[in-house]
Amino acid sequence: MASSAARAVAAQQASLLQHGLQFLACRAAAGPNSGESCEQQQQQQSQQQIQLEGLSGSENEPLHVQVSAGTYTLLVGYRGGVEALQFAADWPERPSALPQVSSIGTVPPAWPAPRGGAFWPFAVAAAACIAADVTWDAQAQAELLAPQARCFGAVGAANVIALSAEIEDTTCFWIPYPIVFDFDRHIVSLEFDVVDPRSGEITGRGTDVIHFSAEGKVEQLDTLRHVKHQPSWVFKQLTRDLLASLATTRVPDSILPQQLAEVPQLELVRRPPSEACIFRPHGNNTNSSNNNDTDVHHSLRYPASCGSSVPVCRFGAGKDITVVVMPEWWGVDSGILDLARSLADSLGPGSTVVVPNFYRDADIPVDASWAADDLQQRCIAEPSYKMANTNWEAVTSDVLAIVAAASGRVALVGFSFGAVAALLAAQHCSVACVVAWYGSPDEKFTGGASRLFRAEQVQVPVQLHWASHDQITGFSDMATGQQLAKSLPHAELVEHVHEHGFFNDRTWWASWKAALEPPRLAYSAEVAQGSWDVVLDFLRKHLEEPLSE
């Protein structure tokens, strides 16, 4: 019920916005003493070509409108006053019915029409765009977006619509705030509420800035959420590159190449449809020691469902080699993307490197500017909960779908959480090799992933990178690594004199480790370089060999 009710509010707001603006447009176009009906004027208005160039400001055009769906009212703001258009409760069944019009302050006459009539097609197009967005109308979005529209960090109308569809099941938007028109710059801006359709809960707020072309098409849509830590796609739409600020997120002696220009391509890989959540919602589990936490973020209470696709970031376009790089438990951050881009560069033009976003995160999982308490909560406590309650069958299904869609010989590479995903998936698909860094299926930390793992079923070469001083007993300590290497049919264990997460070169990770008591070992370029060289040799060896039939 909550889902249908929340979406009904959004649909009513969108419909009232469009209906009210159509009324204003036809009223202005009709002129004084016109005998034409509003319906006739609406038909003429839809046929009128939008001309946005070479027009000056107008005193009698609205600056903003605001929808009050509960009272069936559209508030129209001018420079000197406000006009209220109140429709009858049954207005959806009587679209030609006129509203009751009242005003406060000085409201200019509707005639002459603003900008010689050109303002209203612009306003009506803006309303149609907003309505298509909040009602998830893909067909209307396709008609309104310019071919190379840039929205949500994606480029191209088809890509924008695909990304929008990915959150349709878990997100709803309400528009109770003023919608502002800037006709001179061809811009419309608005604020909106972010609503979880399953609970009806308002989970956030944001701002859209919509840029229109001279033909009335949406060229660009910039979005900001009213939160301290912006979603990753916000940074992508602003910087054009998720990795543009690497200098501030890497430790100074990072071994990864400094000058790589490639930007990750965001794609969707089809997978078997599933309504299952990617991990158990917070408060609905028995495995986690964090079960009593009350101060948790919305994403823990309402995890994403698997859906019919898995989002990935892709580097390279080679057809000979595909490497699937699976991140640590906080998800797709600048560190794993930096590493994946470096790996694609090292393996050459025939390679492609793919990073799956298992948790379907919209928020940036790690931000180097966060305070110590935020890092502890967002990067340690909450990911710990997620990993202990992960739906590993769903994660494995994601990996299998990516492998099935891959070109050439395929390798699986995983770090900590990602190592578990790689080892589980390797039981069920044909790949050339696996590289697992400091992580294995266990009972405690991965919530029983060991029950899904049979080491003897991994019949491909596996290289394990373990740290001699790793103290996460049962998951990534040396004893566990040695036991795992013995149980795998074709494994080699590479020991590094360091601690868990030794390859991570992010500044936030270094700061968090240094703040512990006693402090953890600092990043070592020598250890990182040694492990990187060994991994590259291993991948080149096995990815250059033909797969056995």
| Domain-located, residue 240 | no
Least confident of 62-66, 394-398, 409-413: 62-66
Query: Which range, 46-55, 159-168, 469-478, 514-523, has the best average confidence (pLDDT)?
Result: 469-478
| Domain-located, residue 52 | yes
Residues 48, 172, single domain; the answer is yes
Residues 335, 410, single domain; the answer is yes
Residue after which a domain boundary falls, among 180, 209, 225: 225
Is 338:246 a contact under the CB 8 Å cutoff? yes
Question: Which of 104, 115, 116, 99 has the alpha carbon at shortest distance from 78?
Answer: 104
Q: Give the Cα separation of 230 and 251 in Å (integer).
A: 23
Handedness of CA 232, 238, 244, 250 (dihedral sign): negative
349 compared with 546, residue with greater pLDDT? 349
Q: What is 134-184 written as a DSSP string?
A: HTT-HHHHHHHEEEEEEETTEESHHHHHHHHHHTTTT-EEE--S-EEEEGG
pLDDT at 296: 52
Residue whose tokens read 């001279």: 214
Residues 203, 265, single domain; the answer is no
Least confident of 121-135, 516-530, 534-548: 534-548
Res. 110: pLDDT tops 80: no
Residues 165, 283, single domain; the answer is no
| Domain-located, residue 522 | yes
Residues 220, 303, single domain; the answer is no
The number of domains in the chain is 2
523 compared with 113, residue with greater pLDDT? 523
508 compared with 423, residue with greater pLDDT? 423
pLDDT at 412: 98
Residues whose CB is less than 8 angstroms from the CB of residue 428 and which lie 6 or more positions away in sequence, other chains included: 396, 400
| Domain-located, residue 216 | yes
Res. 36: pLDDT tops 70: no
418 compared with 516, residue with greater pLDDT? 418
pLDDT at 47: 37
Q: What is the mean pLDDT of residues 419-430?
A: 97
Residues 218, 267, single domain; the answer is no
Q: How far is CA 439 from the centre of its chain?
A: 26
Is 285:259 a contact under the CB 8 Å cutoff? no
Res. 258: pLDDT tops 80: no
Res. 278: pLDDT tops 80: yes
236 pLDDT band, cuts 50/70/90, is low
Residue after which a domain boundary falls, among 204, 225, 246: 225
| Domain-located, residue 90 | yes
| Domain-located, residue 251 | no
Q: What is the mean pLDDT of residues 87-101?
A: 84
242 compared with 106, residue with greater pLDDT? 106
Residues 169, 215, single domain; the answer is yes
Res. 378: pLDDT tops 70: yes
Residues 218, 351, single domain; the answer is no
| Domain-located, residue 57 | yes
At 175-194, the pLDDT tens digits run 999 999 988 888 999 999 99
Q: What is the mean pLDDT of residues 204-233?
A: 84
168 compared with 439, residue with greater pLDDT? 439
Least confident of 113-122, 230-239, 265-274, 332-341: 230-239
467 pLDDT band, cuts 50/70/90, is very high
Domain that holds residue 379: 261-543
Q: What is the mean pLDDT of the chain?
A: 84
Least confident of 142-146, 432-436, 499-503: 142-146
Res. 210: pLDDT tops 90: yes
pLDDT at 360: 85
pLDDT at 241: 47
Residues 145, 277, single domain; the answer is no
> Which two three-digit tokens encode residue 369?
């500017």
Q: Give the Cα separation of 164 and 481 in Å (integer).
A: 42
Q: The domain spanning residue 515 has which CATH number?
A: 3.40.50.1820
Give the H or E element holding residue 267: strand 265-277
Cα distances (Å, whole numbers) of residue 427 to 260, 383, 453, 454, 460: 34, 25, 8, 7, 9
Question: Which of 117, 127, 124 has the alpha carbon at shortest distance from 55?
Answer: 117
224 pLDDT band, cuts 50/70/90, is confident
Res. 546: pLDDT tops 90: no
pLDDT at 505: 94
Residue after which a domain boundary falls, among 199, 225, 251: 225
Cα separation of the two ends of the chain: 52
Residues 265, 204, single domain; the answer is no
pLDDT at 185: 83
Least confident of 82-86, 225-229, 525-529: 225-229
Residues 210, 322, single domain; the answer is no
Residues 213, 270, single domain; the answer is no
Q: What is the mean pLDDT of residues 5-12?
A: 91
pLDDT at 54: 33
Q: Where are the alpha helices (H) located in 351-444, listed in sequence order?
A: 372-375, 382-388, 392-405, 417-426
| Domain-located, residue 248 | no
Fill in the amino acid letter for 116: G
> Which two three-digit tokens encode residue 402?
């990516």
Residue whose tokens read 């020991």: 495
Res. 96: pLDDT tops 80: no
Q: Where are the alpha helices (H) located in 406-520, listed in sequence order?
A: 417-426, 478-487, 507-514
Q: Give the Cα separation of 394 and 293 in Å (integer).
A: 25
Q: What is the mean pLDDT of residues 156-162?
A: 85
Least confident of 159-173, 180-194, 367-381, 385-399: 367-381
Cβ-in-10-Å burial (0-12, 13-18, 19+) of 49 comes to exposed
Q: The domain spanning residue 71 has which CATH number?
A: 3.10.450.50
